[in-house]
Amino acid sequence: MNDVLPEEIGRWQRVEHVYARTLSLNGFREVRTPYVEPTALFVRAIGETTDVVEKEMYSFDHHDDALTLRPEGTAGAARAYIEHGVQAREPVTRWWYAGPMFRAERPQRGRYRQFHQLGAEVFGDGGPGCDAEMIDMLVSLLVELRVPDVEVFLNSLGGPGTRALHREALVSYLTPRAASLSPYSQLRLQTNPLRILDSKDPRDQEVVLGAPSIHDFLDAGDREHFARLREYLDALHTPYTVDARLVRGLDYYTRTLFEIKGAHDKLGAGSTLVGGGRYDSMVAGLGGPDVPAIGFAAGLERLLIASEITAPSKGIDALVAPIGLAAVGSGLELARDLRRGGIRCEVDTRGSSLKGQLRRANALGARIVLILGESELADGVVQVKDLEAHLQERMARGEAVRVVLDRLVAASRSVDSRMPT
Ligand code: HAM
């Protein structure tokens, strides 16, 4: 779990801002659900034999309630969608969210125990056009965030019937070969054989090379959905790679499944930026209406590692510098006037020397210093010092706000004119 210090927060806010803007342009509205939900919700939605539920949840009992810090956002969003009867009000619901998630994983670069996801869910649209639009939106988002080498990996898992047939064939194939599997996958063979396809252990990887592919079991509806999705992505010129072995760590997926990677040099090939897919059976499975759904989540920390965007570190515009404690009261008043004029400023209320205050102004990135010494106080004036233009003017205090604003506006114009277009 990490602290995010003010030096770093600018990049976080920029990514969050670009995300919120992109999702709003695509008709999504923000939803905020609790960080804590009943443990049973995650067990039912994510699946009892997944790594997340078996090993990674922060669960605790409080009086008679078994509760869990949310390990992901989809289950909570689906619960809220059902609980508030949203389906009765709108046929298609597009929600986005951003916030912390909690998984007790082994920490490493890009993998934390409290991490942040930028996610979204669409309820009520079961068609492949919705899938294509979401994937295309994500690629545009990553490009806007200046993530290099963006790559989309796509698979179809089919519906629950398809999954059951594939599972049976997979178990028949793996059982006689069980002795060659890693000990962990031997256990998985009983509980969640699909996950063996995803194992990073070389012993497992060799065995699964000849395993039956889910694509041989897709029914006509699944095939049509996948073909149309690919058609739409082709029409959008959004490149993707079909990976028939792509499975994900959560059990709720049906049909479309996707992962997006990027910036391999910084994150390594195994580190996924965005994961998502359809979960057409979850809402009904949780006791809600029979509504199809699709969604995704991006790891914010991983996006920040992968992205080349920068954010200027924001300081203040002006420092009010009372020389001596007698000037502090007038300094506070002047600072309040400046802030009312929209100028970011601080007052040095410690009665420091002028030299000390100029040093502080530099450290804070303030362009203007407003000096209130003994004689300024007596005459009702202030010295306005522009540290970049190397100018100093004495003026009536009532004029200071306008002059400082003019100086800042002129400075930002001259910066703008130097920016490449
Ligand atoms: P997920 O693949 O478990 O999917 O997580 C999505 C993304 O969250 C990952 O690709 C990764 O970037 C980030 N992430 C996951 N665990 C960690 C961690 N321990 N540290 C840092 N980042 C992490 C879901 O959570 C699904 N709810 C996505 C979804 C929404 N599917 C449908 N709707």
Task: Burial-class residue 71 by CB neighbours within 10 Å (0-12, 13-18, 19+).
Answer: buried
Pairing of β 318-322 and β 368-372: parallel
- Torsions phi, psi of 47, nearest 5? 110, 130
Our answer on whether the CB atom of 73 is closer than 6 Å to any ligand 1 atom is yes
Residue 376 has which token pair? Answer: 């300024």
Task: Burial-class residue 269 by CB neighbours within 10 Å (0-12, 13-18, 19+).
Answer: exposed
Half-sphere exposure of 390 (CA within 13 A, CB side): 0
Our answer on whether the CB atom of 74 is closer than 6 Å to any ligand 1 atom is yes
Alpha carbon of 177 to ligand 1 centroid (Å): 32
What's the pLDDT at 200? 86
CA distance 233 to 201: 33
Alpha carbon of 289 to ligand 1 centroid (Å): 26
Q: Which of 124, 123, 122 is nearest to 137 (CA)?
A: 122
Our answer on whether the CB atom of 376 is closer than 6 Å to any ligand 1 atom is no
Our answer on whether the CB atom of 299 is closer than 6 Å to any ligand 1 atom is yes
Our answer on whether the CB atom of 272 is closer than 6 Å to any ligand 1 atom is yes
CA distance 138 to 299: 13
- Atom 21 of ligand 1, residue of closest alpha carbon: 111
Our answer on whether the CB atom of 302 is closer than 6 Å to any ligand 1 atom is yes
Our answer on whether the CB atom of 102 is closer than 6 Å to any ligand 1 atom is no
Alpha carbon of 248 to ligand 1 centroid (Å): 10
Give the ligand 1 atom nearest the CA of 72.
Answer: 25
What's the pLDDT at 413? 66
Our answer on whether the CB atom of 117 is closer than 6 Å to any ligand 1 atom is yes
Our answer on whether the CB atom of 296 is closer than 6 Å to any ligand 1 atom is yes
The one-digit pLDDT tens for each residue of the chain (421 residues) are 999 999 899 999 999 999 999 999 999 999 999 999 999 999 999 999 899 999 999 999 999 999 999 999 999 999 999 999 999 999 999 999 999 999 999 988 899 999 999 999 999 999 999 999 999 999 999 999 999 999 999 999 998 788 889 989 999 999 999 999 999 999 889 888 888 988 889 999 999 999 999 999 999 999 999 999 999 999 999 999 999 889 888 889 999 999 999 998 888 767 899 999 999 999 999 999 999 999 999 999 999 999 999 987 778 999 999 999 999 999 999 999 999 999 999 999 998 899 999 999 999 999 999 999 999 999 999 999 999 999 999 999 999 999 999 999 987 766 544 444 3
Give the ligand 1 atom nearest the CA of 279.
Answer: 32
Please give the DSSP secondary-structure letter assigned to residue 388: T
CA distance 295 to 143: 19
- Atom 17 of ligand 1, residue of closest alpha carbon: 111
Alpha carbon of 217 to ligand 1 centroid (Å): 27
- Atom 20 of ligand 1, residue of closest alpha carbon: 111
Residue 191 has which token pair? Answer: 């509980």
For 123-157, letters b (16+ CB in 10 Å) and e give bbbbebebbbbbbbbbbbbbeebebeebbbbbbbb
Our answer on whether the CB atom of 251 is closer than 6 Å to any ligand 1 atom is no
Our answer on whether the CB atom of 275 is closer than 6 Å to any ligand 1 atom is yes
If one residue of 41, 106, 147, 272 were mutated to test the ligand 1 pocket, choosing by the most ligand atoms within 8 A of its CB, it would be: 272
Question: Which helix H or strand E contains 151, and what residues bound it?
Answer: strand 151-156
**Cα four-point dihedral sign 222, 90, 136, 75:** negative
Alpha carbon of 116 to ligand 1 centroid (Å): 9
Alpha carbon of 297 to ligand 1 centroid (Å): 5
CA distance 304 to 273: 10
CA distance 179 to 7: 53
